[in-house]
Structure 1
């Protein structure tokens, strides 16, 4: 199949040009694609877009960047992101992304850090299956997981998230997008838009892909205030999102006690797909290192508070106490200080 490829630029910045492939339009011939491409470009750009059209072409997905994926269970495929924080990554493609293939359709779990990464994931999916993509499940609002979402909406997917996801994206999304554009450049983020969910999960929701049920569960405030997990009932594969970090320093952006409480209840499942780092064979393997780190963070923070230290002194003391963990976690120094600050602000009011 052929797709229209739009080259778009910001009028004020000749270095901003990037490509967009509206994946909702596929054609059997070059002639059909070229005839429809101008209309597709007009529709995609709309009247309010800051982007202008600089070129049009028609090509197959094989000519696009394709994310590498691995099979972790029957019908379950995962892309393993770079084990780094944004500041240590060349493009922000740091999160694990996945998809599950049922008899009738496909569900995608997380969409990547930009439209370009979402398109690369779409291309990877189409190498595995041409079944309809019925759902995109966004595990939480952080941009490395959420910012490729528009690609899958164009492909026909219903976007599903925690009941708090929409508010979180509306509140933080514009600043996230501005920050990533400054960090990686406009070309890398070309065409990236913030997309809100169509379905909000307050408790749990089952999605049927045809002979294959995914169970989604909304989690109380933990890593963030809008975490959502996904369990593939057929294989026991558990997508934890950023409730589980492996190799990359965990980041507290919700509630440290809430996160520890969530980890205290073992989750059913076989393979555990974390938000960052390698897939784990079991629950204990998945969370052991993270639990030790976050438990020590809580203990040392409470100690600093009991000792009467102000935050300016407590944060360095907590970071120093966490140093035995430094060799086990990527992007540790800045993340440890951030976690110490967040933990102090939360726990001083216990």
Structure 2
């Protein structure tokens, strides 16, 4: 009980500290009649552009484009970060990049195994497509199921799309490219292999799915304890003075710790809810009817993402509660 009260107090403290992140008005207007994503790169730092997706859930109205992709022109070649949810997105992303730079694309990075990070890889078949080894294994194992789901959700936006996992594994390393020094780091929690990229030249930190801003986090491959530990690592990095801008894969680009704190607040609230509900003997239906705290109510993908998380993870908390404490405790 003392431990639960301590965790609840931490959750409350995080909620007090959490900051709202202004959500800019959408700049692109996807056209379902022509299947034009209307991608508009926005420069956020020297040589660094972000193509912002909708802060929303997958839908045909947004072409299932809910991810932030990016590219860095280093002077020694372009690095592309994430390739979107479909072949069409990847093709339009490539054209958008070619309109802004004549530098050749040197490599294409996917920050984790989820489909909107790599389903545009078809458009980059002539370039090295790279990810962490565990992400590639996950892409290969789950790509078919991802495709089935996205075709159902997105319809004709997915025309001609096939799962195209990254072809080359990339280890954690530091890449000197032109004036830029790109540090690739492997963290865990949102998935088993979360690639994070810090550009030491500009101070832009690409945090992938470890940070969600103004949106409920997705959790199909989550390890909550490791995720919270990774958020601690990111907080230390951001407060070190080396980071000026944080780019999550889902939600607005921002500065400071607001996105880290929002994500941590949600994960703590969610896990405490599941643990205490299981110990009280509540069934899933009862937990699904639990009111969401006001601080989360306005976030995108609410309540759908919460319901997905509870449906997947709550049975495990029930099993633990029924099994009782481990011997010796």
Say yes or no: TM over 0.5.
yes
Alignment equivalent of 1:262, drawn from 200, 210, 230: 230
- Aligned partner of residue 98 in structure 1, secondary structure: strand
How far off its partner does 1:325 sit?
Answer: 3.7
Cα gap change, 1:199/1:345 in structure 2, threshold over 3 Å: closer, same or farther? farther
Check whether the contact 1:81–1:93 (CA below 8 A) recurs between aligned residues: yes
Paired residue for 1:102?
A: 74
Cα separation, 2, equivalents of 1:334 and 1:130: 42
Check whether the contact 1:256–1:343 (CA below 8 A) recurs between aligned residues: no
Alignment equivalent of 2:215, drawn from 207, 226, 248: 248
Higher normalized contact order (CA 8 Å, seq sep 6+, divided by chain length): 2
TM-score (normalizing by structure 2) = 0.78
Cα separation, 1, equivalents of 2:264 and 2:61: 25
Does residue 292 of the first structure (1) align with residue 254 of the second (2)? no
Check whether the contact 1:270–1:281 (CA below 8 A) recurs between aligned residues: yes
Gaps of 5+ in 1: 1-17, 20-63
How far off its partner does 1:198 sit?
Answer: 3.0
Cα separation, 2, equivalents of 1:67 and 1:208: 29
How far off its partner does 1:286 sit?
Answer: 2.2
Worse-superposed segment, 106-115 or 166-175: 166-175
1:206-217 alignment, distance < 5 Å: 206-217=174-185
Cα separation, 2, equivalents of 1:65 and 1:82: 11
Cα separation, 1, equivalents of 2:62 and 2:75: 37
Cα separation, 1, equivalents of 2:37 and 2:311: 39
Provide the aligned length of Structure 1 versus Structure 2. 281
Cα separation, 1, equivalents of 2:143 and 2:195: 18
Cα separation, 1, equivalents of 2:316 and 2:187: 19
Cα separation, 1, equivalents of 2:140 and 2:37: 29
Paired residue for 1:6?
A: none
Cα gap change, 1:298/1:89 in structure 2, threshold over 3 Å: closer, same or farther? farther
Cα deviation 1:11-54 (Å, max 9, x = unaligned): xxxxxxx99xxxxxxxxxxxxxxxxxxxxxxxxxxxxxxxxxxx
Gaps of 5+ in 2: 1-33, 322-329
Check whether the contact 1:293–1:325 (CA below 8 A) recurs between aligned residues: no
Worse-superposed segment, 117-126 or 304-313: 304-313
Does residue 189 of the first structure (1) align with residue 189 of the second (2)? no
| CA-based RMSD | 2.3
More strand by share: 1
Please identify the structure whose Cα radius of gyration is greater: 1
Paired residue for 2:141?
A: 171
Cα separation, 1, equivalents of 2:106 and 2:278: 49
Paired residue for 2:21?
A: none
TM-score (normalizing by structure 1) = 0.74
Does residue 278 of the first structure (1) align with residue 252 of the second (2)? yes
Alignment equivalent of 2:53, drawn from 67, 74, 81: 81
